Amino acid sequence: MFKLLRPQELQLTSTIWEKMRSQAEESAPEEACGLLGGEMGAEQYRAQAIIPTTNVLHSRVRYRIEPLEQLKAFEDFEELGWELVGIYHSHPNGPDAPSPTDVAEAYYPEAVYLIWSHRTGEWNCRGFLIQDGNIDEVRLTISG
């Protein structure tokens, strides 16, 4: 029987963190999106690469990663022996948690879904596992 991983933490470098934040800010008012590759462990994941992607919907309330960019990212991760550890997008004017659409379209249950929001006047990010309609927060840690 296939068992899903349920990490408690996603480790990010300050460079990856800043690239995600900058993309969210620069893409506003549209949603930004992208992928994180790295290593998966039972208790924690470690992001080692960020691949910003195009939101083909150019929407303020939804995102869809450009399919060829997604395929190329998956190929790059596989070549390096990495997994898809995270999928990020922004909610420029929305909640700091997954929307019903995010939950319905969470097709990668082992990936951490990172959501950047701007509700407090500055960009903040939270991470979530979305598995079988259930949402669990994952701790994000940033290092050097």
The pair of three-digit structure tokens given for residue 131, joined into one six-digit string: 């598995």
Give the DSSP per-residue string, 14-75. HHHHHHHHHHHHHHTTSPPEEEEEEEE-SSEEEEEEEEEE-BTT--SS---B-HHHHHHHHH
Cα separation, 86 vs 120, in Å, equals 24
9, 31, 39, 43: the active-site residue? 31
Cα separation, 58 vs 63, in Å, equals 7
> Is 31 among the residues known to form the active site?
yes
The pair of three-digit structure tokens given for residue 54, joined into one six-digit string: 């195009």
Nearest residue to 131 (alpha-carbon basis) of 111, 109, 113, 115: 109
Q: Cis (ω within 30 of 0) for the bond into 29?
A: yes
Active site members: 31
